[in-house]
């Protein structure tokens, strides 16, 4: 009789993509400044055209004015629970990745108490006190890190079923006078991760995480508006785009390769690459670097599905939303079948980066 494996398997997924579509043209009336407070000289048409060429973003989604991140996370969680066909009272943990808490449309202060996980558990009306709910702020890689933590719980035997959510309303913390504000968007995604006895190892196969903080800690941070006339007390998400780009291209491809090796696989075994949707050109460059690390130049068509063109960068929500779209067959030409090897990867504030190899059951 062959030994059984204790596998960590995604049994359900869900998403909440806001219905408010914001196109690049809606930024034509903005006054953009640089970090020194000097107004940018180029016409907005030129700024927006260059922005789209670099990032690939044509439009993004913003939450309704009466919604906050926990609302979006709740809706995504509902879908994941329904998709997995489980009783939410049987959840051992609810892990919620985010970075700014519930930021209201009319009062843009960070609100993180009670934790968003507690708010979502309340909205789900889960009475079980042993459903432990907690938050995980870890930059954009937060949802993937939550999946890694959930995997640890399942492998230890401490838990059997965990809800992992990524939710964010970045539109509420962007500086309207910073052209980088066009990158960010809102959304939420969620999965149910369960422990299953399987004949072969499936689900989470390997994972790796790095945190670099010596010089990199504040490349993404909260700082005042570039418009010097606005209050210095109000803080917005800011980033050193060039340094982050260089860090991502140096760190993520090597991390992906090491994670694939740790799984006992090689690049030819990987069927799909799901990378955090931060910047189209950056993601494409990272994928090219991965293939070059294996001495390959030919990248299979469709190996890296993209959502950033229409959804923008919604931080911790990008990976679970992307996974949900692909697994439900709602992205043209994309599907995940049994035995498919997927690698997830993300990079963001910290600076943090992570990767995870997942074999579809």
Bridge partners (DSSP) of residue 14 are 190
Residues 159 and 274 in one domain: no
- Name the domain count of the chain: 2
Quote the DSSP letter at residue 222: E
Query: How many angstroms separate the CA atoms of 240 and 212, rounded?
Result: 15
pLDDT at 42 over 90: no
- Say yes or no: 231 and 181 in one domain: no
Of 149, 174, 198, the last residue of a domain is: 198
Q: Of the residues 178, 198, 218, which one is the last residue of a structural domain?
A: 198
Over residues 317-341, mean pLDDT: 94
* The pLDDT of residue 119: 98
228 and 194 within one domain? no
* One domain, residues 63 and 129: yes
What CATH number corresponds to the domain at position 240? 3.40.47.10
The pLDDT of residue 93: 98
**Per-residue pLDDT tens for 332-360?**
889 898 999 999 999 999 999 999 999 99
pLDDT confidence band for 110 (50 / 70 / 90): confident
Which tens digits make up the pLDDT trace of 118-172? Answer: 999 999 999 999 999 999 999 999 999 999 999 999 999 989 999 999 999 999 9
151 and 56 in a single domain? The answer is yes
pLDDT above 90: residue 6: yes
Q: Residue 332: its pLDDT value, please?
A: 86
Rg over alpha carbons for the chain, rounded to the nearest Å, is 20
* 3-state secondary structure at position 180: helix
Specify the DSSP class assigned to residue 160. S
Residue 67 sits in the same domain as residue 152: yes
DSSP 227-274: STTS-TT--EEEE-HHHHHHHHHHHHHHHHHHHHHHTT--GGG--EEE
Residues 6 or more apart in contact with residue 196 via CB below 8 angstroms: 6, 7, 9, 203, 361
Task: Express each pLDDT in 234-244 by its tens digit.
Answer: 899 999 989 99
Which domain range does residue 11 map to?
Answer: 5-198
At residue 233, the pLDDT reads: 86
Whether 276 contacts 24, CB under 8 Å: no
Pair (228, 242) in one structural domain: yes
Q: What counts of helices (H) and strands (E) characterise the chain? A: 8, 13
Q: Are residues 193 and 221 in the same domain?
A: no
Residues 80, 160, single domain; the answer is yes
β-pair partners for 23: 59
Q: Are residues 337 and 352 in the same domain?
A: yes
- Torsion over CA: 351, 302, 9, 114 (sign): positive
Question: Is residue 1 scored above 60 in pLDDT?
Answer: no
Out of 134, 164, 198, a domain closes at: 198
Tokens of 347: 């990079």
If we measure between CA atoms, which residue out of 102, 74, 100 comes closest to residue 14? 74
Average predicted confidence (pLDDT) for the chain: 95
Share of the chain above pLDDT 90, in %: 89
Average pLDDT over residues 267-290: 95
| pLDDT-based confidence at residue 63 (cuts at 50, 70, 90) | very high
Note the pLDDT of residue 313: 96
Angle at 350 (CA atoms; ends 51, 305), nearest 5 degrees: 50
Phi-psi region of 293 (alpha: psi -120 to 50; beta: other; left: phi over 0): alpha
Length, in residues, of the chain: 361
Q: Do 211 and 261 belong to one domain?
A: yes
Q: Are residues 239 and 173 in the same domain?
A: no
pLDDT digits (tens, 9 = 90+) for 242-260: 999 999 999 999 999 999 9
Task: Tell me the whole-structure pTM to 2 decimals.
Answer: 0.95
């Amino acid at each position: 009789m062959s030994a059984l494996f204790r596998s960590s398997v995604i049994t359900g997924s869900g998403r909440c993509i806001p219905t408010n579509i914001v196109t690049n043209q809606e930024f034509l009336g903005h006054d953009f400044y640089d970090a020194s407070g000097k107004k940018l000289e180029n016409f907005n048409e030129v700024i927006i055209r260059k922005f789209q060429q670099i990032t690939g973003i044509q439009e993004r989604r913003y939450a309704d004015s009466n919604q906050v991140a926990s609302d979006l996370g709740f809706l995504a969680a509902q879908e994941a629970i329904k998709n997995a066909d489980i009783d939410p009272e049987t959840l051992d943990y609810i892990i919620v990745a985010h970075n700014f808490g519930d930021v209201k449309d009319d009062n843009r202060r960070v609100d993180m108490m009670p934790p968003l996980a507690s708010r979502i558990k309340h909205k789900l009306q889960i009475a079980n006190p042993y459903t432990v709910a907690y938050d995980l702020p870890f930059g954009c890689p937060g949802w993937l890190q939550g999946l890694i933590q959930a995997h640890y719980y399942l492998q230890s035997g401490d838990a059997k079923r965990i809800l992992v959510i990524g939710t964010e309303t970045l539109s509420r913390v962007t500086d309207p006078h910073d052209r980088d504000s066009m990158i960010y968007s809102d959304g939420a995604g969620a999965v149910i991760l369960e422990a299953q006895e399987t004949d072969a190892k499936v689900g989470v196969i390997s994972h790796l995480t790095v945190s670099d903080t010596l010089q990199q800690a504040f490349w993404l941070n909260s700082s005042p508006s570039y418009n010097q006339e606005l209050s210095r007390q109000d803080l917005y998400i800011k980033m050193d785009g060039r340094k982050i780009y260089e860090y991502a291209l140096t760190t993520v491809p090597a991390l992906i390769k090491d994670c694939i090796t740790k799984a006992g696989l090689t690049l030819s075994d990987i069927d799909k690459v799901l990378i955090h949707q931060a910047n189209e050109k950056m993601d494409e460059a990272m994928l090219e670097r991965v293939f070059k690390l294996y001495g390959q130049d030919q990248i299979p068509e469709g190996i890296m599905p993209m959502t950033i063109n229409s959804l923008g960068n919604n931080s911790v929500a990008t990976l679970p939303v992307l996974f949900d779209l692909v697994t439900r067959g709602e992205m043209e030409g994309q599907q995940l079948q049994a035995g498919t090897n997927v690698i997830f990867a993300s990079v963001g504030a910290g600076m943090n980066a992570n990767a995870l190899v997942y074999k579809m059951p």
